[in-house]
Amino acid sequence: MRSDSPRFSHAGPARQQKRVPIIVLTNIQCYCIYYNNNSTGDSAMPFVDFSTISGSKVGRPFERELKIALSPETHPDVSGFSLIVSTLAPDGGCTDTHTHAESGELMIFISGRGKAWLAGEEYDLKPGASLYAPPGILHKTLNTGTEPLMIACVFVPAVPDDYIKTSIEAAAAK
């Protein structure tokens, strides 16, 4: 287990914190709260409304907007994961074919329609669908519809906060 991973112990009163991420999805917005529960009763619950977070734009041909919703660098009570909201532009917004060497990526599709490719397989995307790309596995998403394709992307372990800047630079270089 990584040194920054949450640990679970059932050893009496000195029990360590149990971290529980809670993701709330609606057809209008996606919220994620992070509940930090420990034996002393203290808790921290960051609440994030994606519509209030400023995003970073990726230009054509990989047109999309990226927002860091939760990460260890943006919220001190968060550890072990990052939540990034990726909104692909209508009519062809996409990601490049890519991998994440250190992190797995759970993609939860909130709105819009599209296609995804994971390890050579093609998948239809719609609200309520999810897809997991393990570390090192090639994947890509494409918006095939006329509405934005919103994806909640949970990275485990967390990606560095400069991930978005790196993604924009990589897309511009292609």
pLDDT score for 50: 84
Task: Find the distance separating the first CA and the last CA of the chain, reported in whole Å.
Answer: 36
CA atoms within 13 A on the CB side of 70: 27
Rounded (10°) CA dihedral 130, 90, 22, 78: 110
Q: What is the mean pLDDT of each run of 10 residues along the chain (174 residues)?
A: 35 42 49 47 68 90 92 86 96 94 96 97 96 96 98 94 80 75
In this structure, the strands spanning 56-58 and 149-156 are unpaired
Q: DSSP letters of 66-102?
A: EEEEE-TTT-TT--S-EEEEEEEPTTT-BPPSB--SS
Ordered by start, the domain boundaries in the chain are: 55-173
Backbone angles phi, psi at 110, to 5 degrees: -95, -45
pLDDT score for 169: 82
State the Cα angle at 81 between 47 and 20, rounded to 5°: 60
**What CATH number has the domain spanning 55-173?**
2.60.120.10
